[in-house]
Structure 1
Amino acid sequence: MNFILAALIALGAMLDLVLGVSFFVDPALAGMDFGMTATGPMGLSAMRGDFTAFFLVAAVFMGWGAWKRRSDVLLAPLLLFATAFTGRLVNLFAVGFYEGWWTPMLVEAAHVFVLTFAMLRWRSQAA
Structure 2
Amino acid sequence: MRLILTALIMIIGIFDCMLGIGFLILPMETARSFGLAAAHNGGLSTMRADMTAFFLVAGITMIWGAWKRSGTVLLVPAALFLIALFGRLVSLFADGPYDGFLMPMVIEAITVAIVLMAARMLPHRLPQGG
Gaps of 5+ in 1: none
Q: How many residues align?
A: 124
Which aligned pairs between 1:56-95 and structure 2 lie closer than 5 A?
A: 56-95=56-95
Runs of 4+ in structure 1 off by over 3 angstroms are none
Whichever residue aligns with residue 81 of structure 2, its letter is F
Separation in 1 of the partners of 2:10 and 2:123? 18
The AA in structure 2 aligned to 1:52 is: T
Aligned-partner Cα distance in 1 for 2:123–2:10: 18
TM-score, with length taken from structure 2: 0.92
Q: 1-side partners of 2:22 and 2:116: how far apart? A: 27
1:1-127 alignment, distance < 5 Å? 1-123=1-123
| Cα deviation 1:37-80 (Å, max 9, x = unaligned) | 10111111000000000000111100011111100001111110
Q: What amino acid sits opposite 1:70 in the alignment?
A: S
CA contact 2:5–2:114 (8 Å) conserved in 1: yes
What is the rounded CA distance, in whole Å, between the counterparts of 1:85 and 1:123 in structure 2? 26
Q: Cα distance, 1:123 vs. partner?
A: 3.5
Give distance in 2, aligned partners of 1:103 and 1:33. Answer: 12
Scaled by the length of structure 1, the TM-score of the pair is 0.94
Secondary structure of the 1:79 match is helix
C-alpha distance in 1 between matches for 2:120 and 2:52: 28
- RMSD between superposed Cα atoms in Å: 1.1
Q: In structure 1, give the amino acid aligned to 2:14.
A: M
- The sequence identity of aligned pairs, in percent, is 46
